[in-house]
Structure 1
Amino acid sequence: MADSLSPECTPLKQEYDSCFNVWFEGYLEPAISPSATDAQRTAHYERKAAEFQQKCGKVYAEYQNCIQKAVKRKGIEPLLQQAREEHPLREPLPPSKESS
């Protein structure tokens, strides 16, 4: 695993990466039938999101806080804002009715 943007954040990054990797392995395991309803799929993914928050949410928040401080200290914040303005993240398009 790579080091963090700032050396003091690296232990938190490593802890988060490890937690995420373990959680993600479980996320990828088929836990619902291919014939599951949309409601069953939604419930499954909501459970997985809650599981992530329970297992990794705290260390993720601590790591993000550390990174935000490092970004401000290093003066990178204006560059990030410029990048967000030039290439904003967009919500994915909803699936078309034709593919159903």
Structure 2
Amino acid sequence: MADSLSPACTPLKQEYDSCFNVWFEGYLEPALSASATDAQRTAHYQRKAEEFQAKCGKVYAEYQNCIQGAVKQKGIEPLLQQAREEHPLREPPPLLPPKDSK
């Protein structure tokens, strides 16, 4: 895994990356199962979101705080703001309903 923007943040990045990778494997499990219903998938994804917060949320917040400090220290903040203004993130398009398989 790559180093962080700031060497001081790299241990937090590595801890977060490891936590996320383990969590994400479990997140994808029902997507691989064709027999899971939409309701089962929705419930699973809700549980996985709660699990992420419980297992990885704290280290994610610590890593984000570290990165935000490094961005300020390196003077990158104005460039990020300019990029956000020129190319704002947009809401993803709505998901298409599943096609009936007959």
Shared fold per TM-score greater than 0.5: yes
Unaligned runs of 5+ in 1: none
Q: How many matched pairs?
A: 100
* Aligned-pair identity (%): 85
* Deviates further, 39-48 or 66-75: 39-48
Quote how far apart the aligned CAs of 1:42 are. 1.6
Quote how far apart the aligned CAs of 1:33 are. 5.1
TM-score by length of 2: 0.85
Q: Is the 8 A contact 1:16 1:60 kept in 2?
A: yes
User: Measured at CA, do residues 31 and 88 of structure 1 come closer, stay the same or move farther in structure 2, by a change above 3 Å?
Assistant: closer
Distance 1:97 1:90 in 2: 21
Where does structure 1 differ by over 4 angstroms across 4 or more consecutive aligned residues? 96-100
Are positions 1:67 and 2:67 aligned together? yes
Q: Is the 8 A contact 1:19 1:56 kept in 2?
A: yes
Where does residue 14 of structure 2 map in the other structure? 14
Q: Deviations over 1:61-95 (max 9, x none)?
A: 00000000010111100000011111111111113
